[in-house]
Structure 1
């Protein structure tokens, strides 16, 4: 009985262990994604994070009072303050990148990321949520023990070549949970089983970019992509269940799918974060081969190899306890989100709805865009979003009208909330009137919707959302 228990512990530890070189590469990947995230936020800092933008602190306090109370970015409505915090976040990300004071850099990066996300939760998507989750688990792990300034150049100083514990289990579980819960939700819709889901997704002109417009008409290939992606999601627990070459090959399939998303759809940092999350799953054999080909410093443990179950890192008992509780919470929260477990009374709706339902149970069935015709004091009509003369016809590239995924997300929220529409309209007015002699007097917001018809003509419907007089005229 003891031998069987030891065998099970060894098998479990082998699958939950993460190579230290994988942790180092994960650290670098996370830091690069954080830097990309910061760089993408900076151009819209005035619009999204200041009192002159689309979500002033007064509106934030009305919609999300608890967020406004804890976000560092909500301490000031000035643009200079936001740039100072962005600079601090970039500094922490660079420290994480090179592995200097790694744990502190990870914690500071996490706190500043959460802060900016709470300052404007209306522009977030699943990639933002996953990024902060991965940073959270990374803060528990020795990310700086290899290929880092903290390692002091002594690549043989560690007594083990891998790490295993509650924190590694939490990190790997987080990655698998995203795929597995998404699979459960997708299986509830016939559109994925028919193979039409990816075809519908590539008809969404407010999402497709780059190669997305090229492959949108490749019906047989898109059917195969839908079935292939669904099969990968259903089998995603094998990311942990497999070992060695089989695991590396399976990780490669997921990585290829995310690379495809990156060059076809406007999804923000989601594909990049997902690729970073796959790095810890790569087995030691992969890193052995990489070191041999790239002539990287070889990590050789100083003590004889022992069963992984006997090489659990000496984490502080408090940190282990927190990691264990968070691992349990991860499982319970996602079970509640899927409806597999009844939510206790008083559970917030955000917890009830957390099921990683990207394009699930089915993709949206319509392309939409916001139109904002504005009247100037000169009598001209312009598009308040783009600044060009207003044209009511369908734009050739809807994704270009929205600008990026954060604007698309805010416009989507504004469709449903009149308070956000008022805030958006006044921000558009103020932006124009700061830089033009002919003032903007009023902005009308319209929602244009084009229902997807896979094999037939598509028509555009328009709905008036409201007209707003400019207070800054």
Structure 2
């Protein structure tokens, strides 16, 4: 063999080894990823449950007829849309909970992952109007988890890794890494299109959004120097997010820790649903082996759990063709992630006529600039007694600015639905019908009509802020569902 051939082989081997070390994920990290995924799924179910009737039945704000009108064909993609009855939704929620518990303990892990993914996509498709970026990321992490040996450590199964080999490398690990990094890198690219982030004012605007801020968010809203520093630090972290792949060892662990800390800060300050928890879940998969070696050195029982095996052979090992198909599918999906995000950023031109839903614009949270106004709904309703109440809260109606705009919404999903309803008359009609029926089912003093208003308070960092109100419509109870 010539010296040139030897040199090429050496370079190729070196590159392959370096790439493998960066794309490889520790089985213990995947186990932590699995446990966190299951916990987030359970939290998501618990948070959805109080609005089961409101969001997922024909008696709620989005009957299947309205879903079919707004999203033709989507009814056929959702198990939750097979029936508009509440008891069917309860059964599906229970099934999703059981699948998440199975995933948590690592029993029939791959099956539990796939079932959880199917039921998550089903409930999301049933009401796409209450979703945010966290929901999109959660289903994508579950998707990649279906290709990975999540049950090889700290699991009842522990079938795929009862060896001393902690590393896993392949198209699926590359896909999961790419998915996590793409969220940050894409968000950074979009944020740089507006100078408000580089000026250090963007986070100040975010914390002036009273319908988003909660807990410590209301406390730090006036701390200008701190918020400016957080702005620049966050932009810097987003720009360096590709280092999550490039770095290894303790340096990668430090950067992962910084992102985890940032997301935990979001939990304490902003009402943005499960997004921070889902983000932390994705980051857990990136924690390198040096961390898990140190953890197991301190916790000996954990080390024994990580190598225990049940002796059951994974189906992919029994049917090798399935493994080849899974790898090919993972490669294709990795390519799709990169291409759709490139199209969404405008780096690659989409073919003429490509629907917007096929280009990825899921990661533009507070970008290119944050919203510049706080808003809330008012729903004055007339009762047969002559009294007026706020149909959203059931309290006596007062035309004043709420002390906390975030308190006007039971949760972030209601806020998202009401935001969508501002521009869609059919959603406002369904909302009015739901509010009427919800009140009249439990009160003798019936509701006769409800009006919907949206109040908007423009953000001014240096001056007084004024409130403007817009009437969205007035609806007579009893005539709303019939369309009159």
CA distance in 2 between partners of 1:138 and 1:219 (Å): 41
- C-alpha distance in 2, partners of 1:162/1:267? 34
**C-alpha separation between the residues in 1 aligned to 2:254 and 2:48?**
34
Query: Residue 135 and residue 156 in structure 1: after superposition, are their counterparts in 2 closer, same or farther (change >3 A)?
Result: closer
> Which ranges in structure 1 are unaligned for 5 or more consecutive residues?
303-312
TM-score by length of 1: 0.95
Does the CA contact (< 8 Å) of 1:159 and 1:301 recur in 2? no
Q: CA deviation at 1:300?
A: 6.7
SS at match of 1:245: helix
SS at 2:456's partner residue? strand
**Which of 396, 399, 416 does residue 409 from structure 1 map onto?**
416
- Offset of residue 294 of structure 1: 2.5
Matched residues in 2 for 1:179 and 1:353: separation?
Answer: 13
Alignment correspondent of 1:95: 102
Q: How much has 1:355 moved relative to structure 2? A: 4.7
**Residue 315 of structure 2 corresponds to residue 297 of structure 1:** no
Aligned to 2:27: 20
Rounded to whole Å, the distance in 1 between the matches of 2:308 and 2:117 is 31
CA–CA distance in 2 between the matches of 1:70 and 1:271?
Answer: 27
The change in CA–CA distance for 1:156 and 1:139 in structure 2 (over 3 A counts) is closer
Q: Indicate the SS of the match to 1:65.
A: coil
1:57 positional shift: 0.6
Deviations 1:232-285 (A, max 9, x none): 001100001000000000001101100000000001000000000000111001
> Does the Cα contact within 8 Å between 2:186 and 2:363 map onto a contact in 1?
yes
In structure 2, what is the Cα distance between the partners aligned to 1:329 and 1:267? 27
TM-score of the pair, normalised by structure 2: 0.93
Contact 1:32/1:97 (<8 A) preserved? yes
Give the aligned length.
461
Give, in angstroms, the shift of residue 378 of structure 1: 1.1
User: Deviations 1:287-339 (Å, cap 9, x if unpaired)?
Assistant: 0111122331255799xxxxxxxxxx997110000000000000000001101
Question: Which residue of the other structure, out of 202, 216, 234, is the alignment partner of 2:239?
Answer: 234
Deviation track 1:114-143 (CA, whole Å, cap 9, x = no partner) reads 000000000000000000000000000000
C-alpha change, 1:286 and 1:72, in structure 2 (3 Å) is same
Q: SS in structure 2 opposite 1:150?
A: coil
Residue 350 of structure 1 deviates from its aligned partner by: 1.8
Q: Judge conservation of contact 2:110–2:150 (CA < 8 Å) in 1.
A: yes
Q: Is the 1:68–1:119 contact (alpha carbons within 8 Å) kept by the matching residues of 2?
A: yes
Correspondence for 1:310: none
Does 2:68 match 1:61?
yes
Distance, in Å, in 1 between the alignment partners of 2:100 and 2:463 is 49
- Alpha carbons 1:181, 1:355 under 8 Å: kept: no
Residue in structure 2 matched with residue 422 of structure 1 by the alignment? 429
**Structure 2 residue matching 1:433: 3-state secondary structure:** helix
Shift in Å, 1:66:
1.7
Distance 1:41 1:25 in 2: 24
* Structure 2 counterpart of 1:397: 404
CA RMSD of aligned residues (A): 1.7
- What corresponds to 1:44 in structure 2? 51
**Residue 131 (structure 2) aligns with:** 124
Higher deviation after alignment, 393-402 or 346-355: 346-355
Q: Structure 2 CA distance, aligned partners of 1:174 and 1:350?
A: 18
For the residues of structure 2 that align with 1:218 and 1:74, how far apart are their CA atoms? Answer: 47
Q: Which of these residues, 338, 344, 358, is aligned with residue 365 of structure 2?
A: 358
Residue 353 of structure 1, CA deviation: 5.4
Q: Which residue in 2 is equivalent to 1:184? A: 189
Deviation at 1:354, TM superposition (A): 1.5
CA-CA distance at 1:80 after TM superposition: 0.7
Match in the other structure for 2:207: 202
